[in-house]
Amino acid sequence: MHLDFGIISSGLPFLWTGFQYTVQLTAVSAIGGLFFGTLLALARLSSIKWLSTFAAGYVNLMRSIPLVLVIFWFFFLMPLVLQAMGGSERPVQIGAERTAGRASNPSQEGRSIPRTRWG
């Protein structure tokens, strides 16, 4: 059995770009989570009753929602919400839907595998 690893070496620039995007997304998410998490923790410790109650309610609500549901909402509901907010004609592209088109040839209409290879 002969494996052709040439396809991997030809895709290394795309893998490197994806890796850089992942590191940037991780850094921004970590900094944002630390910032907003600290604000939320301070709000829960606040002596202002409505602020403390709101923060506690938000934390309890987010703890009770399964992560899979949050991910589902983000990828399927947020494009529609952003479309309605922005008044655009089509839903906003988020995540893999947004980045998959960068690696493929525009003449293939967004398909990363040419039609001749998969039928």
Q: Residues 25, 37: one domain?
A: yes
Distance, in Å, from the CA atom of 68 to the CA atom of 70, rounded to the nearest integer, reads 5
Q: Residues 72, 60: one domain?
A: no
Phi/psi at 5 (5° precision): -90, 5
Question: Which residue shows structure tokens 């479309």?
Answer: 83
Give the pair of three-digit tokens for residue 100.
Answer: 């998959």
Average pLDDT, integer, range 87-94? 81
Contact at 8 Å (CB) between 79 and 94? yes
Q: Is residue 105 part of a domain?
A: yes
Please write the tens of the pLDDT for every residue from 22-73: 999 999 999 999 999 999 999 999 999 999 999 999 999 989 999 999 888 8
**pLDDT score recorded for residue 9:** 84
Please write the tens of the pLDDT for every residue from 94-107: 766 555 555 554 55
Q: Residues 86, 50: one domain?
A: no
Q: Residues 19, 60: one domain?
A: yes
CA nearest neighbour of 76 among 93, 89, 90, 60: 93
Tell me the whole-structure pTM to 2 decimals: 0.57
**pLDDT score recorded for residue 101:** 55
Give the pair of three-digit tokens for residue 84.
Answer: 């309605």
